[in-house]
Amino acid sequence: MTPKLVLDPTLIIDQRHYLNIVKDYQINNTYNNNYIFVYYVHRKKNEMKTFVEKASKELNLKIFDFQLNNNSLVEDFLFYIKNSKSVISNSLHCTIFSIIFKKPFIAFNFNFTGSERLKSLSELLGFQERIIDINQNPNINLLNTPLKINHKTFTKMKGKSIDFIKRNLKLYKNKIF
91: closest CA among 40, 38, 133?
40
Question: Is the model's pTM score more than 0.75?
Answer: yes
Q: Which residues pair with 65 in a beta bridge?
A: 38
Domain boundaries defined on the chain: 10-176
Predicted local confidence at residue 54, as pLDDT: 93
Query: In sequence order, what are the residues at sequence separation of 6 or more whose Cβ sits closer than 8 angstroms to the Cβ of residue 157?
Result: 5, 6, 7, 124
Predicted local confidence at residue 177, as pLDDT: 45
Q: 46: number of CA atoms within 13 Å, CB side?
A: 1
Query: In sequence order, what are the residues at sequence separation of 6 or more whose Cβ sits closer than 8 angstroms to the Cβ of residue 64?
Result: 31, 35, 36, 37, 38, 80, 84
Domain 10-176, what fold? Rossmann fold (3.40.50)
Note the helical H segments in the chain.
9-12, 15-23, 45-59, 74-82, 92-100, 115-125, 151-176
CA-CA-CA-CA torsion sign (87, 92, 97, 102)? positive
Along the 177 residues of the chain, how does pLDDT read in single tens digits? 677 888 999 999 999 999 999 887 777 666 678 999 999 886 566 778 888 999 999 999 999 999 888 788 889 899 999 999 999 998 889 999 999 999 999 998 866 555 788 888 999 999 999 998 877 888 999 999 999 999 999 999 999 999 998 888 876 665 554
Predicted local confidence at residue 39, as pLDDT: 93
Residue-wise DSSP of 87-139: EEES-HHHHHHHHHTT--EEEEE-S-TTHHHHHHHHHHHT-GGGEEETTS---
